Amino acid sequence: MMDVAGLFSLEGRVALVTGGSRGIGRMIAEGFLAQGAKVYISARKAEACDATAAELSAAYGEGRCVSLPADVATPEGLTGLVAALREREDRLDVLVNNAGAAWGAPFAEFPESGWDKVMDLNVKALFFLTQALAPMMARDSGPLAKVVNIASIDGMSMNPQETYSYHASKAAVIHLTKRLALRLVDDGIVVNGIAPGAFASTMNKDARDHADELAKVIPSGRIGEPEDMAAAAVYLASRAGDYVVGTTLAVDGGVTWNR
């Protein structure tokens, strides 16, 4: 008899979510906790990271959500995060590469700093954090480990904003997800991605502050809710997503195909 509930369970699993103190990262972290995982969250701002971990632990069990503040955009921050996790755990089952940045400016004025900041965090840090943590995730037997890269529908299609490095970085994440998937599946690590559409967050202020207006251009008629993002992430992180490899799942209410 098929155990469908068990397919989506994360009981006993250890996860790390970067950019986990707010927005999409927090939605994913909470979804993992609800399915039984122990979740480490990381963010550049230590106070916000600590506060979110305390709040989620109060809701889902003391010590279930642990704060590991770090700036993964810097080599020192990335190395420190890996070391801090290794001090606490022998293995990592799920890595969510969610930390990201955006930059908007007119074409003629777009600065090199806005290019480098976005590409370094959204693409470079994603690759090197995955590389550094792969030894903790590799396995010969048992449940497969999972990497979930957070891309964006802006990596699949254009929005009207002049966010040149953001568009380029998220398209790179989608393609890098495929390359990593083909390499790491040999080590028992399955890599996939999620391309979010409109979810209320600090980065997506339009969805946060003008949800009703934005909903008019979304085929589903609404912006995304935390449960929508949590469900997609749980699917890919659990046994349910074992046979999905190298795919980036658009979670956007259909807006990508309506642009």
pLDDT value at position 259? 72
**pLDDT tens readout for residues 221-232:** 999 999 999 999
- Three-class DSSP category at 137: helix
pLDDT value at position 206? 62
Tens-digit pLDDT profile for the chain (259 aa)?
A: 899 999 999 999 999 999 999 999 999 999 999 999 999 999 999 999 999 999 999 999 999 999 999 999 999 999 999 999 999 999 999 999 999 999 999 999 999 999 999 999 999 999 999 999 999 999 998 899 999 999 999 999 999 999 999 999 999 999 999 999 999 999 999 999 999 999 987 766 666 667 788 888 899 999 999 999 999 999 999 999 999 999 999 999 999 988 7
pLDDT value at position 170? 98
Active site residues: 166
* Phi, psi of 145, rounded to the nearest 5 degrees: -80, 160
* Phi, psi of 249, rounded to the nearest 5 degrees: -90, 120
- Three-class DSSP category at 66: strand
Provide the token pair at 159: 């929005």
Question: Tokens 């799920």 appear where?
Answer: 94
Q: What is the CATH number of the domain that holds 8?
A: 3.40.50.720
What total number of domains does the chain contain?
Answer: 1
| Residue-range definition of the domain harbouring residue 233 | 4-258
